[in-house]
Every structure is written in structure tokens, then in C-alpha cells.
Structure 1
């Protein structure tokens, strides 16, 4: 019999998207899902599959503490922070919490050794939700609630953004990539957020065939990703979306690294990873560049990104 589950995941775009396989599976098992997110990410949460009710954390905090015991059967905490743990302890319900491997992550960042490779975050979400999941595997085909993309199909999408410098390529690196990708029938699109519009403007001025989509909503951006021929991205929410939506993907890594648990999931044949040659990779979980060290993204070989793109384009045209 299905249960009424309260699920906590406050942010951010990539992390919320990576809950999709677990949410969809929980829903298919007959459970009723209420998802709590922070207000700044409600737009992304509205796209997730299997969610019956959305609550904004800032608006619902007091009400949840007072009434959760009668409204829900259990809590799944997919945030796993001090804030979320403190909150769920006040609800008087059974709680299953997503655990973060702090020690293993620290050892990986210090030693750079693959011996400390961290389990994919989607699988760790699934472990937290396992008491309510039937035996089986997580869904690979996801039903994200995306709008129709009526205009740009089969594009080569360059995701030029990133939350921190260690996840972003420089203007010069993007210029080298774009100038060396053969012009074909595929539109070329620049995707990012409001903070990337200056870079997009500089690139579009130099390459007038580029389409600047940095002003698009997240939902429209995800529709572009779904309908793209190839996505080229750093460690971003759009990168995770490409993997989840089975879009061919070239991902590049500077201050972060796939071994930190945020590699493209699921692993598919049409995926290639290009990792910086810097001795400082990985430097941080979130892509922050330490102030006293060089940006590892400076040691990313653009030639490897170009080779990966060219190989993917050949694979798409080979019968």
C-alpha cells in the first residue's frame, strides 16, 4: 500500500534534477509525494516527475512542524545537511536520510586517488529511499514535465555557464572550440544563465551564426537539451539533464571530477568526458578555485574536447 512521503531537497538545479529517477520510481510504487524546496528553485521542482504536491520551505516551515505528523507517514531527507536534519527531527515521523561521504570526499580531494571514488549521488538518493522502493532498477527513461520546443531542434548546444570558475571555460577556450567545429546543418546554441550573457554576447559578435539562449528559462533550456544533437558542458545542471534525457554529451571537468559522485548518470554509450590535466584536479566539490592555486580548467585540452565533438558527430552520421 502506498504511503504519504514528505521529501526534502532544497536546491539546486542539478541536485533537484538528479532526484528525478528516485521520485519517478517512488511514484510508480504507489506513494504520494510531497516535495519541499526553497523558493528560488520552485521552477525546477515543477518539472520533476512523480511529485503530487510542492511546498516552498520558507513558507511552509512552521506549518510542517505543527501538522506533518498527521499528514505524512514518513520523511525522506535527500538534502542531508545540518539544516535539514534539524528540521526533520522536529516532525515526529520516521526519517530516512541521505548521507554525504565527507571523509571519503576529503581523502579524494587531498590524494586525487581513484581509490576514493564516490558512489553516484543518484544511487545514494535511492539508498535513502530504499525502504519505499520495490525491488528493481531505477528508471532510465524519465518523464520530466518539459514544455515543447517549437523552434530549435537537433542543435549543437554549448553550455557556457557554471556556478564557479573551476567549472567554466574561458572566452579564449570557447573561441577555439567554436572556430574549429565544422559548420553543418546543426544550429549552434549558447546556453547558460543571466550571468553568462556578457560572454554569450562576445561570442555571438565574433560568430554571428550562434544562437544566444542565455535568456531562456530553465524549462526552455532543458527542452533545448532534450532535443539537441550534442551537448557540450562542464559540471552543470544542464550537463546532468543531458545525461538523464539520453542526449549525446561531451562533459569537461576542471576543479571538479566525475569521481566526486556527480558524473553523468546514467552511463550511456553517447557520452565522453574530458578531464583537466592539472595536478590540482579535483580541487573542490562545488568547482570553487582556491585563491592561492591556479584554475585547473586552464589545463583542460581544448583539442580533446574538439576530438570528442568530432567523434560524436561522425557517430551520428554513420549508419
Structure 2
């Protein structure tokens, strides 16, 4: 019987997608290891194509809510007879769980988030601006501490999935380059001004490329639908497909243009190249998509950047928002540079 390893990563979407990219590597390098991933059920599609992996859903607002719920989850997880626990989250819930497993004598390894160096990178004054350890390497360290010598290639591994039947018409007859655009993000300081993104979309449309807009929610759907109406080659996918279907669609793209958002990590999981736009955040923090290149990051070098790790704080550069420093021509020039 293969040894079983419990893996915790409950949220957020981008972080869970990054964890999935790591676990694809782990599954290849440790084929005799059974991985049991504990995460929110909505994220299950990230793990469907990883061999030998079992997904155990976590319901933080339901049966696993509160301390009693965590204890119930602990009892559920004992069915797998785990050899060890890999905590890729290190929040209050995961730490409570690891305490319970430690009390049973089961080895635990936990994520080092690197808070001190991240604070030095984002503080307003005397920043230490240098490349920090990539998050996927921090995840891999958790496995290494348990005795699994994981080596990461940091290269994209294409994972073409079958298009869902409902998405086939979107690609029917398309001979041009297929470009995904994810112009939105959870936090506003990470969003490239929409009027500037519209200039980029206009350029791609005039080049005859097929453009697919990704997002979620009523406000984002309104923007994407408006672009679809005005530009001949633009298609809005916002709130039209499930997460599993979106992943399959992304796997058929030639390239993705994204913010520092979950869509960058979803594209990385599918092995798709991403041009990413950075404002309040910075690739130095370690959250660049797995296998993506620093040269494909569109940003302006300024001593005030970054202002935060998660993009939840504005970033003013000499009184101007950091995203406003990126002219549409900068993005278009990068698209031209790669042949678009």
C-alpha cells in the first residue's frame, strides 16, 4: 500500500492553483506517494488531472465551520491513515489541524511564508527590493522537510484538455492566434485601467486575433459584454462556464494577457504562456505564475513599488498610480515583440 500524504491549501484561488502546479511535479517525481488534497470543493477542477491524487472537500461555512468543524475534518481525514501532513497554507484552521495530527504522532511540515522579507519588500521606506523565493519553491520546501527531494523545473508543461461541447462553437473556424485576456483582479490596485486595456483590445482586434475575455460577476460581465458588442473578434466568457470548462478553454489558448491574478496561475497550470501586468504588486514577492518568465512581466521600475503583497493597498509613484505609468503602447509593443 502506497504511503499517504495529507496536503492542506484551503484558499485563495490563485494560491490553490499554484499548489496544483507543484503537486503535478510531486506526482511525477514521487509516483508511489498517494496525495490527499484538502481544499474548498470549488477548487477541485485544479486537481482532476493529477495521477494518484485524492481530493477531500473542505466546507468552512458548513460542516467544517469552527473548532468543532475542524475536529470533524480531522476525524474524516484519519480514514486515509496518513504518514505525514504537508501544510501549504499555515493559517489558523490548518494550524489547528496540524496540532491534532501531531498529538497522534504524525509528522507535520508547514509553510514558511517569508513574512519578514516580504515586509521589507513592501514597506514605504528603506525597501529591500530583491527577488524573493518563489511561492512554489516555498511549497516544495514543505515536502523537502518531510524527506521528499522535489526538484522543480520552472518550465511550462502544456496540458491540453478536451473542449467542453458548449465551448466548441467559440473555436469553430478560428485560424488566427487565440488570446485570452483576464483584465480584472480581486483588488483594484492590481487592475490595469479598463480604458487603457480597451486600447490594447482594439489593437488585437484590428490584427484579426481571436480574443477571449475572462472574469466573474455582474460588473465584469457588463464590461466584457460591451467589448464583445463593439469588437468583431472579441468573445466574452464571463460567467458563462464552470471552472473546469474554463481550464479546458485556457488550455487551447496560444497566450494569456493577465493581471497578477488567479487567471495567471490557471494558465500556468495549463502550460500556457502569460504576459502579465503589474502595478501595486511585483514579481519579486514570489507570486509569478509557475513556469512564466520575468521578461513577460509588463511593469515600470519605480522605488515605490511594490506597496503590498496582495495588491490591497494603492501604490503611488510620485503621486501617480503605478498602473497609470504603463501606457497602452508598452503592452502593444510587448505583443508585437512576440509576434502579435
Partner of 1:47: 48
- 1:48 deviates by 5.4
- 1:136 deviates by 4.1
- Residues 1:309 and 2:309 are matched in the alignment: no
Q: How does 1:78-157 map to 2 (within 5 A)?
A: 78-91=88-101, 92=104, 93-110=106-123, 111-115=126-130, 117-130=131-144, 131-134=146-149, 136-138=151-153, 140=155, 142=157, 146-148=161-163, 150=168, 151-152=170-171, 154-157=177-180
Aligned residues: 311
What RMSD over aligned residues (CA atoms) do the two structures have, in Å? Answer: 2.8
1:33-85 CA distances to partner (integer Å, 9 max, x unpaired)? 1111124x334444352453222223463334236456211100000223311
Looking at structure 1, the residues matched to 150 and 10 of structure 2 have their Cα atoms a distance apart, in angstroms, of: 27
Partner of 2:67: none
- Greater Cα offset, 191-200 or 138-147: 138-147
Match of 2:289 among 246, 264, 267: 264
Conserved in 1, the CA contact under 8 Å of 2:38 and 2:58? yes
- 1:281 deviates by 2.1
1:172-218 CA distances to partner (integer Å, 9 max, x unpaired)? 11121122336344311111122511221232233243101112222
Conserved in 1, the CA contact under 8 Å of 2:18 and 2:289? no
- Residues 1:66 and 2:75 are matched in the alignment: yes
Distance 1:124 1:86, change over 3 A: same
Conserved in 2, the CA contact under 8 Å of 1:33 and 1:50? no
Conserved in 2, the CA contact under 8 Å of 1:248 and 1:312? no
Conserved in 2, the CA contact under 8 Å of 1:46 and 1:145? no
Distance 1:135 1:53, change over 3 A: closer
Conserved in 1, the CA contact under 8 Å of 2:205 and 2:211? no
Partner of 1:214: 238
Looking at structure 2, the residues matched to 261 and 78 of structure 1 have their Cα atoms a distance apart, in angstroms, of: 15
- 1:267 deviates by 3.9
Partner of 1:164: 187
SS in 1 for 2:296: strand
Distance 1:310 1:145, change over 3 A: closer
Distance 1:144 1:49, change over 3 A: farther
After TM superposition, the score normalised by the length of structure 2 is 0.81
Looking at structure 2, the residues matched to 163 and 89 of structure 1 have their Cα atoms a distance apart, in angstroms, of: 32
- 1:143 deviates by 7.7
Conserved in 2, the CA contact under 8 Å of 1:222 and 1:238? no
Partner of 1:180: 203
Looking at structure 1, the residues matched to 209 and 190 of structure 2 have their Cα atoms a distance apart, in angstroms, of: 26
Runs of 5+ unmatched residues, structure 1? 315-319
- 1:86 deviates by 2.1
- 1:231 deviates by 1.0
Conserved in 2, the CA contact under 8 Å of 1:140 and 1:266? yes
